[in-house]
Structure formats: structure tokens, C-alpha cells
Amino acid sequence: MNPHDTAQANRIAYRGDIVFAPTLGELAVYPDGYLVVEGRLIDQVLSASEGDLLYGGGDPSPGGGSGRIVDYRGKLIIPGFVDLHFHAPQFPTRGLGLDEELLSWLEEYTFPEEGKYSDIGYAGAVYRRAIKELWRQGTTRVAVFATVHREATEILFRLFQESGLGAYVGKVNMNRNAPSYLLEDTEQSLMDTREILERFYGRSQAGLVKPIITPRFVPTCSLDLLLGLGRLAKSYGACVQSHLSENTGEVELVRGLHPEAPSYAAVYDQAGLLGQTPTLMAHCVHSTEEEIDLLRERGVYAVHCPSANSNLSSGVMPVRRFIDSGVRVGLGSDVGAGHSVSMARVMISAIQSSKLKWLWSSRQSVPLTTAEAFYLGTKGSGSFFGRVGSFEPGFEFDALVINDMDDTTPGFEEMPLSERLQRFLYTGDERNIEARFVAGSLVVEPF
């Protein structure tokens, strides 16, 4: 067969009401459009008239259209949601302990729960439930913290590989300021981390599920451990994720532990864990201007977790300041401090918290719009995974098909796609998600 004919045969045109955000604040809308996918990549997006000419009647035409059409007419087709901060072992404790602040919440709820993951049977049961819920809520890619336990972390890797979702999975590192049942020997922690890198990553970038270096945060990691992790990150070219300036008590604790460092962020930087390889830093609620400048210079992603920050009384990240400063910003559910797995709910929480920030600042800090929050939860976060989170040519086809048909709404047929998207984000749920695609493949319910 001619290679050109083979490529054409692998093409699929998804027809429906297409919405995506190619840039911050901008929505691209294609009513009754055609999203043409070849293998795992998007080839082109066509308007209704262009698609009808090329694929008229659903059959190949002399104009060059070939392959098959998947008909989702009347339904929204949007990029899959991306969650840049998710604690899989905290899935059972969602909604618990949320009258506490961060440090007491860790001591009383989180650490005791994470101690249970020395039991691989328990770990497997919880991780299956967590991954299935990610799938249900339309999260197609996710950055995940596991626990300090290597065997349980390897189970989480394999379950994600089986699920068809994309993920960065990190074995947590901790060697101080934690209960004895979670404290690691420094060298053993580094050896376990290296073994996971070798087993699931090697020196290859391929695959949907990859390891990520995951020091929990500076208070629980000595400088020796951080430096060792920095060396591993450099050696393997591995990504990094951790927490930064979530809570004022935490910031003060870091200042006492590292009086020699000019800032919390500088501790990570000195260890080679702040943008020397692609890096996620969650929260950044209390980051100084100097730290914001450093994050920008290092190309670090600041991950906004609005629901969790409200739940633990941590504060409101000044998202607009980060955006205006040129820092990359993504969104995270931060389950279990965040009570919901739904990234649609996180987008709305980000909008609402930015409006409060706007009011508190005498309307000096412009709040996020729906289009901006949608961008942050799709392309903005997806870019950490590569060309992910948009429907531009060359991007991987990660998508949700949303059945938002509502016969009780007068004039539904005339509603602009931007308003249908907004209504789904605010009032829809997983029952509206009809199909989920990752890297060109339909992903059915796992397990």
C-alpha cells in the first residue's frame, strides 16, 4: 500500500461542536466542526463548511477527504483536563480534617493515612479507586504524589499504565520532621528513587506514564537528601515536583531550618530542584517578588490549588501577579486537601478566589475569566506533558466529549459555544462526559 494511502486510512474526523483555548483568554470555537486526527496527533480543525466539502455525506470525497467520521454532532468536544497536583494516597481522606491548617492537618490526618501504604493490598485497592475517579471526572493527564513506599509506588505506576491515562508518578522522599513510620534513611530513599527511575524511565522519554522526582517539601527533606535528588534529576533528565510557600507556618519553619538561604525557593534552587529540569511547584501562595522572579527565570510551573488553599486556610495565590510576571501557571486539585477530583470544579474555584482577591485589592488585581481558567486547566497545564491540552495541529489528541443537551433550556440551539462551555464547567458533572480520549485512543472505564 502507498504510504500516503496508509496515512489517510489512519485518519479519523471527529465531528461536533469544538471548543479549545489556544492562548490565555482566547477560545477557538468551531460549531459543527471537524477535528481531524491522524494516529495520536491532531492534523487539522475544519469549519462546518470546510469539513462538509471534504467529508460530505461521511464518505471519502475526490477533494482528498478519506478515513472515517465519528459523529458527535450536537455535543461539545473539548481538550481533556490536566491536573498538575494530586495526592493519590490521600484519596480516602477527602473532606476530612479541613478545619485544620496545613501542618496540623498533615500530622493528624495525612501522615497516618499515608502510613497505611506499607500494605500493598491496601495501596492497590485505594489507587484503583482514585484512578477510576480521575477517569470519571475527565482528567486525562495528572501529576501524582505517591508515598515513601517503593512497592506501593510501583503498583501505582502499573495501574496508571493499565488505565490508559497519562501521568507523572512520584515516590515521595522524606527523612526528617515526620512520624517514624514514614521517615526514610537518606541513602535508601535515594536508592529507591533511582531504582524507580531505572525501572520505569531509564533514559527514555517514551510512554504515557513516567516517574517524577518528588521531595515532599523542604521541612521533611534534609539538604543532603535534596542535593541527592537534584543529582538524580540531572542524571536522568527527570522532572521534579514539590510544594512551595503554601502556608505561613510552613514558610516560617523553612526559614528556621535554613537561615542561610535567601528564600524558600532558593533551597530547592541550590539543590538543583528548581527548573534545572522541568519542575512543578504547588501552591506558591506566599511567594515573594524575588521568588516569583526566580520561578520565571527557571521556567518553573506554579501550580494553583485554589480549593485546597481555601480548605486549609492557607490563603489565595495571586494568580494574576504570576501570569503578569511571566511565570508558567497550571492548576491542581490537590486531593486530599482539595475535596474534589473534578478539574472543572477547580477551574471555577480559581475564578471565584481570583474575584475575592480582586475585591480585597480594591479591584486592582483583575480576576480570571472562564476562558482563562479553561486555558490553565487544559493547555496551560498540559504543556508540562508536551504538546498536550489544545487542538492545534501537532498536539496529541486528548479530548472529552460532553453531552450537554438540555431540552428544558429555551433557545439551547442558539446558545454560543462559549456559553455552553461555561455552563458545563459551572453546572455539569461526570454524567455529561460521554467519551474520553488520550493520545488518540478512546479510554474506557479502567479496572
Is position 447 within any domain? no
Where helices occur in 376-436 by DSSP H, the ranges are 381-382, 417-427
Is position 240 within any domain? yes
Q: Tell me the C-alpha distance between 234 and 246, whole Å.
A: 26
Residue 56 pLDDT > 90: no
Q: Are residues 246 and 258 in the same domain?
A: yes
Bridge partners of 184, per DSSP, are none
Q: Are residues 92 and 179 in the same domain?
A: yes
Residue 390 pLDDT > 50: yes
> Contact 338/312 with Cβ under 8 angstroms?
no
Return the H-helix or E-strand segment holding 328.
Answer: strand 328-331
Local structure of 216: helix, strand or coil: coil
Q: Are residues 210 and 345 in the same domain?
A: yes
Q: Tell me the C-alpha distance between 228 and 422, whole Å.
A: 45
Q: Are residues 395 and 375 in the same domain?
A: no
Q: Are residues 200 and 263 in the same domain?
A: yes
Residue 111 pLDDT > 90: yes
Q: Are residues 119 and 190 in the same domain?
A: yes
Is position 399 within any domain? yes
Quick: pLDDT tens for 129-153.
Answer: 999 999 999 999 999 999 999 999 9
pLDDT of residue 144: 98
Quick: pLDDT tens for 289-345.
Answer: 999 999 999 999 999 999 999 999 999 999 999 999 999 999 999 999 999 999 999
Is position 156 within any domain? yes
Q: Are residues 305 and 168 in the same domain?
A: yes
Residue 2 pLDDT > 50: no
Q: Are residues 121 and 137 in the same domain?
A: yes
Query: Residue 63 corresponds to which cell in the numbers above?
Result: 477533494
pLDDT band at 408 (very low <50, low <70, confident <90, very high): low
Query: Residue 315 corresponds to which cell in the numbers above?
Result: 490563603
pLDDT of residue 5: 43
Local structure of 282: helix, strand or coil: strand
pLDDT of residue 364: 76
Return the H-helix or E-strand segment holding 81.
Answer: strand 81-87
Q: Are residues 193 and 331 in the same domain?
A: yes
Query: Residue 149 corresponds to which cell in the numbers above?
Result: 513506599
What is the value of pTM for the model shown? 0.95
Q: What is the mean pLDDT of the chain?
A: 93
pLDDT of residue 365: 80
Is position 175 within any domain? yes
Is position 431 within any domain? yes
Q: Are residues 64 and 85 in the same domain?
A: no
Q: Tell me the C-alpha distance between 200 and 253, whole Å.
A: 34
Strand 68-79 to 399-402 pairing? antiparallel
Find the domain containing 107 and state its range. 81-385
CB atoms within 10 A of CB 130: 25
Q: Are residues 319 and 427 in the same domain?
A: no
Look up residue 40 and give its amino acid: R
For the segment 429-438, the average pLDDT, to the nearest whole number, is 97
Residue 24 pLDDT > 60: yes
Q: Are residues 16 and 156 in the same domain?
A: no
Q: Tell me the C-alpha distance between 56 and 46, whole Å.
A: 13
DSSP 50: H
Q: Tell me the C-alpha distance between 347 and 329, whole Å.
A: 13
